[in-house]
Amino acid sequence: MGEFRCVDRSLLNDWHVVAERSALMSNSAFTTRLMGHDLQVTLDGRYNLRVVELDTGEEVCSDSRYGFIWACLGRPERDIIYLPETNEADRHLLSGGSIAVRVSGLRAVENFLDMGHFPFVHTGWLGDEPHTEVLPYNVTITAADEVLATDCKFLQPFASPTARAAMLVDYIYKVFRPYTVALYKSNPLDPDRKDLIVLFIQPVDEENCIVYSYLCYLKQGLEAAAARSFMQLIFAQDKPILENQRPRRLPLDPRAETPIRADAVSVHYRRWLRDRSVTYGAIAYPV
Amino acid sequence: MLEDVRTRWHPIAATDDLPLRHVFHGQLLGREFAVWRADDGYVNVWENRCLHRGVRLSIGINDGRELKCQYHGWRYSNRTAGCTYIPAHPADAPARTITNRSFQAVERYGLVWSSEDPRGDLPVVEGIGEDDLLVLRAIPVNASAELVAQRLQSYRFQPNSEIAGTGTNIELVAATEAAVALRSCQGRAETLGVFFVQPVDSGRSVIRGVLSGRPNDAQLTAVLRYHNEALSKLREDLEREAAALPVPVPIEPIFERVSEELASLPELDSRGRKAAIRVQVARKWQTADGIMAFELRPIRGLLPTFQPGAHIDVHLPNGLVRQYSLTNGPGETDRFTIGVKLDPASRGGSQCLHDSVREGDVLAISEPRNNFPLRRDALKTIFVAGGIGVTPLLAMAQTLNNQSLAYELHYFAQNEQQLAFSECRQALGNAVMPHLGLSPSDTVNELRRLLSPYLPDTQLYICGPNPMLESTRSLAAEAGWPEAAVHFEYFKNTNVIDDSSSFEVALARSCLTIKVGAGQSILEAMRDAGVDLPSSCEQGACGTCLATVIEGEPDHQDVYLSPSERASGTKIMTCVSRSKSARLVIDA
């Protein structure tokens, strides 16, 4: 199943991260796969970026932004996502690493949107038993066609690299595009501002993805290395759970799995994918 | 062909693969199983997927009574595979219908057998004694079961007692598509070897060999090693042969969709109180002065899943229906245990159970309903029991005990002889604290001491006679307990029901407007109009017939709702409560 190529026009004509720029060696080719297409990425000097599809030898659209290399297999219909926080000088802007996960990228997005697993998967960090309750929150679809969850709250023992004590953390989740999701999380030192973490997910094929995290943490009291290692600690706890999900693709049939109230955001996400006819990485369910 | 294979029994594990508290990952015809043994010995074979998000249950935690999913901590009960707790919503009782798919399991010949859709019985093997056999190490092979079974026919081995020798005679006793039986004879030494082939997937199999006779300790290792080497050699040959063949397409398991019930309210097809389950009184014993305990076992099949705090309706031979709380701990799903106190003013319920019902009798009971759910997100939980009110609290205490969560069970009674379920209490140890022979005023003082000061993250559960319950609730309020942390269950509603009003009820979902006259309950009027709601005690105590009020002012006469629930005006117990406004709109 995994080798099937993508037929979703909106995904083919969108930008996807295919490499971390700092991980590329100058003048040497790097091979990766995007939605079943094998790509060769070469960065010659500082500016000469080329992404070539190996089967056809044809060059595909490419760009470099936020420290990542982006590719579009078709004709770009919109620009790479814009993140205004990247203009704020007092933020770290860094990659949290790229981690390959043997599951559909859509499952990885859904896991990122989920608070219920904190006490069980991120025990002692993002949650702790017996404090397991997921309080009601709001979900809307924005005018810009994003899934937005607000008023999310969870009691966290070690919410971030700068947290010193347990705190009730406020979250806002936003799904920008099918494979791009972000969370805005209360900063322990500056309660009026939020740290931002964005996941750019590369759909390698329908059942494999590479998760690139982009960290826009406030610099105050935080070393870049600490932010990176916190992200990797947390994601390493998610990876084995994600890789044990069956089926690996995200089912869009509302009766395939059992949602509860705490899953309101994932219910909206699945419906949003279905209504926009996103099928790549999903088990489609006709409307 | 595949359909045939699906209806057959196959070995999926060795009995030794299920040590204490382990979960084994099994597979048959592309379908994965989570296989686990509960502490009571029962072997569970379940679809290897949590119904919530599809995470494999084989990476879950077997706590001896329940299986806990690693992802969100959902708990599934031994035997029934029903979900008993969803930590994200600690105040709710999960819908009974959240039940994982389970498969039959039989242990025989040192192996665990299962099937997707078994027809007929397990294969019987002549010459292998259940108590005198040796299970060989399972050998996985990347080849189809068909090919493996074929090649196994030419497997050669020495009898156990001549394991170092050569030149044995091999007789092919039997061969099917799924198993080969071979007899090895040398002189008087003779060993029967039966080799079952487990079809893991279209191109993968496991050879599970069983030998007649367990070698003595001196020979055991030699025999095991001998077969391990010989079967591993066979495996290499088989894989070489299979590699030259076209690769078969893996079998895609079909996952059942979850029931529509979970997405919408169930349609009720018959009316009134249901008693769908037949149970037999397996044991009846006096557990305390004036209290009889009954152990109820299913006539056939499994009992439904229950949660701590749940009760059942018992339909008595004399036509009465009574509610009793289940005292069972988590995973204790082979029986329901209830305690019945003889009420001197009995209208025939407790009297009948005490005097007429005997061991061996068959009773009709309802499905368990839980209107007294237990939160498990508190740092500490305090249970206050008066007399027979201990029954639901025992079930709750065992649940917290099993999860190593802190609790105290304060049990008020006149004397030692009135304390029920001593075995269960002993197992809970020092967390159970009896308070004996206290006068009403001493009881109040003791309760005041226990409930103050109120500490955050503490929950209180009370069950007992009405006066005690009332005073515990007001003492808790005095001590600063928030109403949401105080949970209670009344035995019965002693309020005098005023049913003299008449009013109109609009049923929003059914698009019906009905008249409720004096002397008639909303529930009765609804049933007359063909709209049913589940009900149980029908006196405003148990919480089963709860409905949501959309418009109008309810006239509450129950003892189930809390003051704030009453004040909100959004809930009504349809069996006793009525309407102050001329019209009430409810969501039914």
A3 has pLDDT over 60: no
pLDDT value at residue A44: 85
pLDDT tens for residues B455-491? 999 999 999 999 999 999 999 999 999 999 999 998 8
Report all structural domains of chain B as residue ranges with CATH numbers, in order of start: 1-122 (2.102.10.10), 123-249 (3.30.530.20), 277-365 (2.40.30.10), 380-490 (3.40.50.80), 503-586 (3.10.20.30)
B71 and chain A in contact, CB less than 8 A: yes
What's the pLDDT tens digit per position in B549-575? Answer: 999 999 999 999 998 899 999 999 999
Bridge-partner residues for B362, per DSSP?
A: B280
Residue B268 confidence (pLDDT) above 60: no
Q: Which pTM was predicted?
A: 0.88
Give the tokens for residue B475: 């003492």
Q: In percent, how much of chain A has pLDDT > 70? A: 98
Model confidence at B318, pLDDT cuts 50, 70, 90, reads confident
CA-based nearest residue in chain B for residue A118: B72
- Helix H or strand E segment including A106: helix A105-112
Distance in angstroms (rounded) separating the CA atoms of residues A101 and B77: 31
pLDDT at B266 over 80: no
Residues 24-63 of B with CB under 8 A from A: 32, 48-49, 51-56, 59
Q: Which of the listed CATH numbers 1.20.58.60, 2.60.120.10, 2.10.240.10, 2.20.25.680 matches domain A9-72?
A: 2.20.25.680
* C-alpha to C-alpha distances, B415 to B383, B412, B474, nearest whole angstrom: 19, 9, 25
What is the mean pLDDT of the segment spanning B325-352? 92
Average pLDDT, chain A: 93
Question: Nearest to residue B333, comparing CAs of B76, B43, B79, B93?
Answer: B79
Q: Indicate yes or no: CB of B72 within 8 angstroms of CB of A245.
A: no
Q: Which of B61, B72, B85, B405 to mutate to test the interface with A (most CBs of A within 10 A)?
A: B72
- Confidence at residue A184, expressed as pLDDT on a 0 to 100 scale: 96
Query: Nearest-CA distance from A38 to chain B in Å?
Result: 24
DSSP B167: -
Tokens 């050998």 sit on residue: B139
A239 touches chain B (CB under 8 A): no
Interchain proximity B89–A131, CB inside 8 Å: no
Q: Assess contact for B384 and B410: CB atoms under 8 A.
A: yes
Per-residue model confidence as pLDDT tens digits over A147-206: 999 999 999 998 888 878 888 999 999 999 999 999 999 888 888 899 999 999 999 999
Residues of B in contact with A256 (CB under 8 A): 255, 257-258
Angle at the Cα of B369 from the Cα atoms of B363 and B374, rounded to 5 degrees: 130
As a whole number, mean pLDDT of residues B344-371 equals 89
Residue B511, pLDDT > 60, answer yes
Domain with CATH 2.20.25.680 in chain A: 9-72
DSSP B229-272: HHHHHHHHHHHHHHHTSPPPPPPPPPPPPPPGGGTSPPPP-S-S
Is B566 within 8 Å of chain A by CB?
no
Residue B288 makes CB contacts below 8 A (sequence gap 6+) with B417, B418, B419, B420, B421
Q: Is A130 on the interface with B (CB under 8 A)?
A: yes
Interchain contact A127–B (C-beta under 8 A): no
Q: Which of B56, B70, B263 sits opposite A254 (nearest CB)?
A: B263
> Given an 8 Å threshold on Cβ–Cβ distance, is A133 in contact with B379?
no
Phi then psi for residue B550, to 5 deg, are: -95, -35
Domain A84-283, CATH among 3.40.50.300, 3.90.380.10, 3.30.1280.10, 3.40.50.720: 3.90.380.10
Cis bond leading into B140, ω under 30°?
A: no
Within 258-317 of B, beta carbons closer than 8 Å to A belong to 258-260, 262-263
Sheet holding A48-53, edge to edge: A16-20, A68-72, A59-65, A48-53, A37-44, A30-34
Sheet with B503-507, side-by-side order of all strands: B512-516, B503-507, B583-586, B546-551, B571-573
Confidence of residue A273 (pLDDT cuts 50, 70, 90): very high
Please tell me the distance from the alpha carbon of residue A69 to that of residue A63, in angstroms, as a whole number.
6
Residue A283 near chain B (CB below 8 Å): no
> Are residues A261 and B70, on separate chains, in Cβ contact within 8 Å?
no
Give the integer Cα–Cα distance in Å for B194 and B175.
10
pLDDT in tens, A19-67: 999 999 887 899 999 999 999 999 987 788 999 999 999 999 999 999 9
The amino acid at residue B88 is A
Residue ranges, CATH 3.90.380.10, chain A: 84-283
Contact: B71, A132; criterion CB under 8 Å: no
Whether chain B has a CB inside 8 Å of the CB on A151: the answer is: no
Q: Across the interface, which of B53, B98, B379 has its CB nearest the CB of A245? A: B53
Tell me, what's the ipTM? 0.95
Q: Where are the beta strands (DSSP E) in B38-146?
A: 43-47, 61-62, 66-68, 75-77, 83-85, 102-103, 106-108, 111-114, 133-135, 139-141
Return the higher-pLDDT residue of B276 and B444: B444
Residue A236 confidence (pLDDT): 96
Sheet architecture: strand order including B311-315: B321-325, B311-315, B362-365, B277-288, B291-298, B336-341
Residue B146 above 70 pLDDT? yes
